[in-house]
Amino acid sequence: MHELSVTENILSLASDHAQKSGATRVTAINLVIGQLSSIVDDSVQFYWDLISENTICAGSILNFNRTPAIFRCLACQHEFSLEARLSPCPSCGSIRNQLISGEEFYLDSIEIEK
């Protein structure tokens, strides 16, 4: 799994932005992670505690805001979420959909003290 490299990316982004805003300490990291981005929260948290030690982000809390995978049916416009499995539109049976959320993977904001 690539959670370690992911966590290193989060740390470098967060530290850059903390320094730019003149922070003395970062208290929280707010992430937005889509259901389809296959990231395991627990192992990011595990690496985070290890690699953020002795950085400006030490002791900060990671908040994972999970967005569900939502499809819009192109035939009937019905919107439905990805449950256990991919499926055709539950309303009309069409397989022509557009994914409208669920692939997000970004650092939304940080909370700092100065």
Residues that bind Zn ion (CB under 5 A): 73, 75-76, 78, 89, 91-92, 94
The nearest distance, CB 38 to another protein, in angstroms, is 5
Per DSSP, 57 falls in state T
What value does the CA radius of gyration of the chain take, rounded to a whole number of Å? Answer: 18
Q: How far apart are CA 14 and CA 28, in angstroms?
A: 10
- Segment 31 to 60, residues that bind another protein, using CB under 8 A: 31, 36-38
Please spell the DSSP secondary structure of 18-38, one letter per residue: HHHTT-SEEEEEEEEEEGGG-
- Segment 80 to 109, residues that bind another protein, using CB under 8 A: 82, 85-88, 95-97, 99, 103, 105-109
* Residue 60 main-chain phi, psi, to 5 deg: -80, 160
Q: Which does 91 bind (CB under 5 to 8 A by kind): another protein, Zn ion, none?
A: Zn ion
Task: Check binding of 72 to another protein (CB under 8 A).
Answer: no
